[in-house]
Amino acid sequence: MLYQTLVDIYEKLNATSKRLEKTSILSAFLKNLQDNDVEQVILLLQGIVFPIWDERRLGIADKLVIHAINIATGKSPEFIEQKWKELGDIGDVSANCVQKKTQATLFSNELTLSKVFTNMQQLVSFTGEGTVDKKTALVAELLTNATSSQAKYIARTALGDLRIGLGDGTLRDSIVWACFSQQIGLVYNQAENDVKLDEEQRKKYNEYTNLVQSAYDKTTDFSLVLEKARKGEEALKKITITPGLPLNVMLYQKAQNIADAFATVGQPASIEYKYDGFRLQIHKIKEKILLFTRRLENVTSQFPDISKEAKLAINATNAILEAEIVGYDISSGKYLPFQNISMRIQRKHDIESTAAKYPVHIILFDLLYLDGRDCTVLHYHDRTELLAGICAQSKTFYLAQKIITSDEKEAAEFYNKSLLNGNEGVMMKNLSSPYQPGSRVGYGVKVKSVMDALDVVIVGAEWGEGKRSKWLSSFVIACKNKDEYPAIGRVGTGFKEKAEEGTAFAEMTELLKPHIKPQEGREVQIKPAIVIEVHYEEIQQSPSTAAGYALRFPRFVRLRPDRRPEDASTLAEIQKLFTQQRGRTKNI
Ligand code: AMP
């Protein structure tokens, strides 16, 4: 397949903001793909060349791409930098420079999809001296043979920011449309931008959507899902949990208090300590251990200590376990707040010494797969029994503390005990529920000491004034609603002036800089990428925010590098909290 065919799709997707139209464009394209193009196309549509859970990342710097544009087009670095300032996006700069190539290329070879894909993948294969030059040459080679529009997407793919507005939801729906529209009787009316479905068709549509979503949640691999869906419903249904492929984790709803929690999960319930660390999927495949965060990042290299423990402690050939990883203070043995180990997640150097300095406990709370058996379909009670049976507990590797009770008083005592032990609260879980990957279904709820905490995404900010002019401040925060991130206000307090005191404005600015959208003036928009936890006093209805709600007195508490923007608190949750809060006030 020619790369241009994919570029045409990028451009078409970019040209419309209508989700149904995007779905229609993409589904027609996916339907007619050759089998051997599926994997590369699906990855490149997501702007990546390695699956999300692969340890390999392109990690290409702006400078390298600028140099490659210089080699490919003969434009001077100064000219390219100037254009970058004007246009704000290196993809657009690349397109602009290629349009005006000054070095005549005698033999322009038309780029194929696999040539682009292979060159991109090769970018990670070099180490040692000359690495930067070799990488630059690979990107330059592509740009030399590219048309203007191809150059735009080559640069953006190298930098890992495609900017075509394609979310997971649209990709999933496109697979449903591409493979099952006949079964559903689905026809897209472009003039009206609508699909008309009667009740029966709607039911079928939902069934197929759930089927595709469930296959994705079990494997987080859209290439695999499309490959099977193209073969038909039966092939798709056979997709199952596979050690090595991280699953989308089950999420827990928030309960107001213990009575509310019992009302959701039933009585008796299992009540576990809610440890304040980060969630980890531990995959054991014979002698190999793979570790994934809930963002599906492969962090195996960062935690050799966990792999070592897991190999010794898990008595199974193949298994997938879930654990909370908590840092502890070496001298006092006490748990440390999440921030203290969060830096281990991104660590690339000095891994062993950091592991020794910031040791962790591995606290297991679920079992999702065991020696050929998909355990997610089992009841919580059976899963945790099996888990206890296969794990040799040690000082650092153990099962979450829990009780099973129907009694509110006993539950409240356990909750207090959990807080006294330095935890965040408790998790309350329905004893006979399955594990549903990827959803927040209410099979378990969290009861936290701080009720009014939300995970929000930063989508904008303001450059400061005077001595703060190098820093971003007054961050616009947003919740998640389907594929969108509507704002729920601004947060400016809780950040520190100096790094020694905690998360400082300077650190926030560095984190956010790569995600700033090109813009004039002090006010900037920011691509949803960074998740933070905020506390607040109250939720108010507000006509002036995109979400229709605003937080009163929001305060930054901590960064959440273990969360993706998709994991942020949802608009529906905020609506629920708003009504619960009104209920609370009424009762007083
Ligand atoms: P929250 O981070 O407030 O959304 O609460 C859910 C998170 O609590 C999970 O994603 C886990 O990382 C963490 N957690 C801590 N202890 C447990 C436990 N016993 N069971 C399940 N999740 C836990």
Cβ of residue 562 lying under 6 Å from some atom of ligand 1: no
CB-count exposure of residue 105 (10 Å: 0-12, 13-18, 19+): exposed
What distance in angstroms lies between residue 541's CA and the mean position of ligand 1's atoms?
Answer: 29
Cβ of residue 380 lying under 6 Å from some atom of ligand 1: no
Give the pairing of strands 402-405 and 472-478.
unpaired
Does residue 61 form part of some domain? Answer: yes
Find the farthest-apart pair of alpha carbons in the chain and give their distance in angstroms, rounded.
82
At 351, list the tokens.
């891994």
155 in the same domain as 70: yes
489 in the same domain as 518: yes
Concatenated DSSP letters of 512-570: HGGGBPP-SSSEEEB-S--EEEEE-SEEEE-TTSTTSEEEES-EEEEE-TT--GGGSPB
C-alpha distances in Å from residue 531, one per residue of 202, 203, 458, 552, 577: 35, 35, 6, 19, 20
Pocket test for ligand 1, best of 252, 321, 335 (most atoms within 8 A of CB): 252
Instruction: Please pick, among 101, 274, 402, 480, the residue that the annotation labels catalytic.
Output: 274
Per-residue pLDDT of the chain (588 residues; tens, 9 = 90+): 999 999 999 999 999 989 999 999 999 999 999 999 999 999 999 999 999 889 898 989 999 999 999 999 999 999 999 999 888 889 999 999 998 665 545 456 799 999 999 999 999 999 899 999 999 999 999 999 999 999 999 999 999 989 888 989 999 999 999 999 999 999 999 999 999 999 999 999 999 999 999 999 999 999 999 999 999 999 999 999 999 999 999 999 988 889 999 999 999 999 999 998 999 999 999 999 999 999 899 999 999 999 999 999 999 999 999 999 999 988 888 888 777 788 898 888 889 998 999 999 999 999 999 999 999 999 999 999 999 999 999 989 999 999 999 999 999 999 989 988 888 899 999 999 999 999 888 899 999 865 568 999 999 999 988 888 889 999 999 999 988 999 999 999 889 888 877 888 999 999 999 888 766 678 999 999 999 999 887 888 999 999 999 998 888 989 998 899 999 999 999 998 888 765 443 322
Total tally of structural domains belonging to the chain: 3
Cβ of residue 400 lying under 6 Å from some atom of ligand 1: yes
The C-alpha angle with vertex 35 and arms to 32 and 37, in degrees rounded to 5, equals 85
329 in the same domain as 292: yes
515 in the same domain as 381: no
Helix (H) or strand (E) holding 280: strand 278-285
pLDDT at residue number 585? 37
> Under 8 Å CB-to-CB from 267, ≥6 apart: which residues?
406
Does residue 485 form part of some domain? Answer: yes
| Residues spanned by the domain of 525 | 453-580
Cβ of residue 424 lying under 6 Å from some atom of ligand 1: no
Does residue 544 form part of some domain? Answer: yes
CA distance 419 to 13: 49
> Under 8 Å CB-to-CB from 92, ≥6 apart: which residues?
152
142 in the same domain as 69: yes
Amino acid identity for residue 19 in this structure: R
576 in the same domain as 470: yes
Domain boundary among 442, 469, 486: 442
Cβ of residue 272 lying under 6 Å from some atom of ligand 1: yes
Position of tokens 């199974």? 316
434 in the same domain as 297: yes
**Among the atoms of ligand 1, which is closest to the Cα of residue 453?**
3
In 3D space, the residue among 385, 374, 160 whose CA is nearest the CA of residue 270 turns out to be 385
List the CATH number of the domain containing 424: 3.30.470.30
Helix (H) or strand (E) holding 282: strand 278-285
460 in the same domain as 328: no
CA distance 339 to 345: 11
What distance in angstroms lies between residue 363's CA and the mean position of ligand 1's atoms?
Answer: 11
494 in the same domain as 434: no
Quote the strand ranges of 351-486, DSSP E: 360-370, 373-374, 397-399, 402-405, 425-430, 444-448, 453-463, 472-478
Domain boundary among 159, 188, 207: 159
Does residue 417 form part of some domain? Answer: yes
List the CATH number of the domain containing 104: 1.10.3260.10
Residue having the nearest C-alpha atom to atom 3 of ligand 1: 446
Does residue 39 form part of some domain? Answer: no
424 in the same domain as 281: yes
Does residue 354 form part of some domain? Answer: yes
The reply to whether omega before 268 is within 30° of 0 (cis) is yes
**Among the atoms of ligand 1, which is closest to the Cα of residue 279?**
12
Does residue 246 form part of some domain? Answer: no
313 in the same domain as 432: yes
For 556, phi then psi, to 5°, come to -65, 135
At 473, list the tokens.
């401040």
Respond yes or no: is residue 274 known to be catalytic.
yes
Domain boundary among 396, 421, 442: 442
DSSP state of 65: H
Q: Tell me: the pLDDT tens digits for 428-478?
A: 999 999 999 998 888 999 998 655 689 999 999 999 888 888 899 999 999
CB-side exposure of 420: number of CA atoms within 13 Å?
Answer: 6
Q: Alpha-carbon dihedral of residues 178, 179, 180, 181, nearest 10 degrees?
A: 30
471 in the same domain as 390: no
List the CATH number of the domain containing 518: 2.40.50.140
Does residue 476 form part of some domain? Answer: yes
> Under 8 Å CB-to-CB from 32, ≥6 apart: which residues?
none
32-59: b (≥16 Cβ within 10 Å) or e:
ebeeebbbbbbbbbbbbbebbbeeeebe
